[in-house]
Amino acid sequence: MNNAKRKNFKIEPFRHRGDMDPKYAEKTWKILEHAIHEIYNHNASGLSFEELYRNAYNMVLHKFGEKLYSGLVITMTGHLRDIGKAIENAQGSLFLEELNRKWVDHNKALQMIRDILMYMDRTYVTNYNKTPVHELGLNLWRDHIIRAAKIKDRLLGTLLELVRSERTGEVINRGLMRNIIKMLTELGASVYQDDFEKPFFGRGFNFLFY
């Protein structure tokens, strides 16, 4: 959501009704779930972010924050599992390119989702000590992508092989490697240092050189 849209943003409070549809929460969540699917599928241009924000706002206002939050976790996890399969299927040099491309896509999706769920982040997440949306997205990427059995060892091996290749005089894609290392640092010290930096040092290589 750009700044121009935010300036004119006005949320009308949900009108409390004694006869509120008992299926309100489920219907509203389905709208938001569909939007998340569309965002991950690169179809966000047709979405009304103001309407989606209002729906999320009203769900939290009506005490359906847990349904919204848990639904978000389940939906993002499902997409990340599909993303993981696409990365696993990438062959040869395309592996790092696919990983980087999917990481960029995930961050763009995460930004849009965070904008929609901004009110939930400020209220429900804070009040119930939940992980904020952006951090949640990073943690899910870490757990379902970077630490996935078929990706973690392959990623480490690929990075090590690139360093070896450069040491023997071959030209490598340093820009791509820097992007991958930047991704690892953004996922936190436990990923960058423990999962990758230490194995590099153990083999006589300096991760920081890149």
| Mean predicted confidence (pLDDT) in 80-109 | 97
| Domain definitions of the chain by residue range | 22-39+46-207
- Tell me if 63 sits within 8 A of 127, measured CB to CB: no
Q: What is the residue-wise DSSP string for 183-204?
A: HHHHT-HIIIIIIIIHHHHHTT
pLDDT for res 147 = 95
| Segment 148-188, tens digit of pLDDT | 999 999 999 999 898 888 888 888 899 999 999 999 999 98
Instruction: Map tokens 């194995």 to a residue.
Output: 199
Determine the pLDDT at residue 45: 94
pTM comes to: 0.85
pLDDT of 82 over the 80 cut? yes
pLDDT at residue 204, as a whole number = 58
Q: What is the mean pLDDT of residues 38-61?
A: 97
Q: Provide the percentage of residues in the chain whose pLDDT is more than 70.
A: 86
- HEC string of 122-163? HCHHHHCCCCCHHHHHHHHHHHHHHCCHHHHHHHHHHHHHHH
204 against 56, higher pLDDT: 56
Q: Residue 121: exposed, middle, or buried by beta-carbon count in 10 A (0-12, 13-18, 19+)?
A: buried
Q: If pLDDT is split at 50, 70 and 90, which confidence band does 194 have? A: confident
Q: What is the pLDDT of residues 107-164, one digit of tens each?
A: 999 999 999 999 999 999 999 999 999 999 999 999 999 999 999 999 999 998 988 8
Assigned CATH for 22-39+46-207: 1.20.1310.10
